[in-house]
Amino acid sequence: MAMAESRTEAPAAANPRNLPLQTRVGVGPPSNRTGYKSFTAGDFAFHRDSYFTHIIWPGGRHQMPVDTFLRALMRDVAWNFFYGTVNFDLVFGTTNFYGEVEMFAGATNEAFVAAGRDFVQRFKSEELMGIFKAMIGDWTNAGYDPFAAPMETGAPWGTKNGDNERAVTRLRVTAARMVGLPGDVPKRSDGNGFPVNRMFADVAQDEPEVHAEPGFEGEVAAFNLFAYLSRSDVTWNPSVCSILRESLFCPTSEEFTLPVEHGNDRVEWFVQLSDEIIWAIKDRDTGRYRAQVVCKAGDVCCMPADIRHQGFSEKRSMLLVWENASAKIPELIRQGKAPNVPVIF
Ligand code: PHB
Ligand code: FE
């Protein structure tokens, strides 16, 4: 995931809706019919059946195919609620206030808001995260990996059938400085459990030669990022591969769809390193369509801070997501002191 550890030094969480904190969370016993547990957080209740996740709140209900829900939930868990808003679909999602988090139904959907039917509650991040982790653990069956491309995993359907704890508790990769440095995140190889993915069989695996001046051997390093990404076992999961102060390079390998519509709270750069991703761009708050952006290898684009976006990649591709992790940016943008775009010509 793409958050710097320095994120935890953020100032007191902003609370633009002025919502009280909900503290009630609960886990119900396994259903006699499906075998799955049910969960509550505040006034939201969640259960799953063979095909769907059902979400119920005072005055409303919603359902999503369970594969869509689990892929999105997996990202929200692994990214610790990410930057800004994680829309699981057009109705349900979370907005990160870094220490506290809003969970909503309809709050980023123009029709819900216009009808006064949106519902939002606020939680301590670690409390809601506890429920989300329990949910992804209980609702993921043996053989299903919500991080994997659909053609590389089994199916999530049916009644409760084992689990896949190894897949849903993967440790996120966050380099302290850069992949490959002594003591930092290691490079990937056949030997440490990362074979080259079937779609990247043509990616060269040679490593750069480093010829450091005497005395600087421990300070100069390089690695083959293409080889590193060709060996990723997950999709749509940016990991911090190099970091300089607030500047985070978070490359990732992408196949099928980004499982969430990400609503930004800052600008975010995409460098398309290989192949092609189509981005659907919508207004962050209403969901109205704004643009389709086709990024081909070598293209660079910047997502404004007032949109949501979802990517579509048929052929597994490599993407560099470049984030500014500064904790000050969302509030500066909310107050109109920083622009929604990276540059004004
Ligand atoms: C994003 O929301 O910007 C994002 C998330 C995951 C990815 C790529 C981009 O794999
Ligand atoms: Fe994004």
Report the chain's terminal Cα–Cα distance, integer Å.
32
> Is 301 within 8 Å of 269 (Cβ atoms)?
yes
Whether ligand 1 lies within 6 angstroms of the CB of 323 is answered as: no
pLDDT tens, position by position, 253-291: 999 999 999 999 999 999 999 999 999 999 999 999 999
- Which of 33-37, 73-77, 213-217 shows the lowest mean pLDDT across its residues? 213-217
Rounded to the nearest whole angstrom, what is the distance from the C-alpha of residue 258 to the centroid of ligand 1?
7
Residue 6: is its pLDDT beyond 90? Answer: no
Alpha-carbon separation of residue 2 from 88, 136, 240, 279 (angstroms): 18, 20, 6, 19
pLDDT tens, position by position, 220-232: 899 999 999 999 9
pLDDT tens, position by position, 305-326: 999 999 999 999 999 999 999 9
Whether ligand 1 lies within 6 angstroms of the CB of 252 is answered as: yes
Token pair recorded at residue 177: 């400085």
Percent residues over pLDDT 70 in the chain: 97
pLDDT at residue number 344: 87
pLDDT tens, position by position, 97-155: 999 999 999 999 999 999 999 999 999 999 999 999 999 999 999 999 999 999 999 99
Residue 29: is its pLDDT beyond 50? Answer: yes
Reported pTM: 0.95
Whether ligand 1 lies within 6 angstroms of the CB of 238 is answered as: yes
Residue 183 is given by DSSP the state T
Rounded to the nearest whole angstrom, what is the distance from the C-alpha of residue 190 to the centroid of ligand 1?
26
Alpha-carbon separation of residue 183 from 1, 175, 176, 264 (angstroms): 20, 10, 9, 33
Tally the residues of the chain. 345
pLDDT at residue number 11: 66
Residue 240 is given by DSSP the state B
**Closest residue by CA, ligand 1 atom 5:** 236
Rounded to the nearest whole angstrom, what is the distance from the C-alpha of residue 277 to the centroid of ligand 1?
11
pLDDT at residue number 218: 80
Residue 3: is its pLDDT beyond 60? Answer: no
Rounded to the nearest whole angstrom, what is the distance from the C-alpha of residue 267 to the centroid of ligand 2?
8
Residue 280 zone, left/alpha/beta (φ > 0; ψ -120 to 50; rest): beta
Ligand closest to 258 (CA) is 1
**Closest residue by CA, ligand 1 atom 7:** 236
Residue 8: is its pLDDT beyond 50? Answer: no
Residue 182: is its pLDDT beyond 90? Answer: no
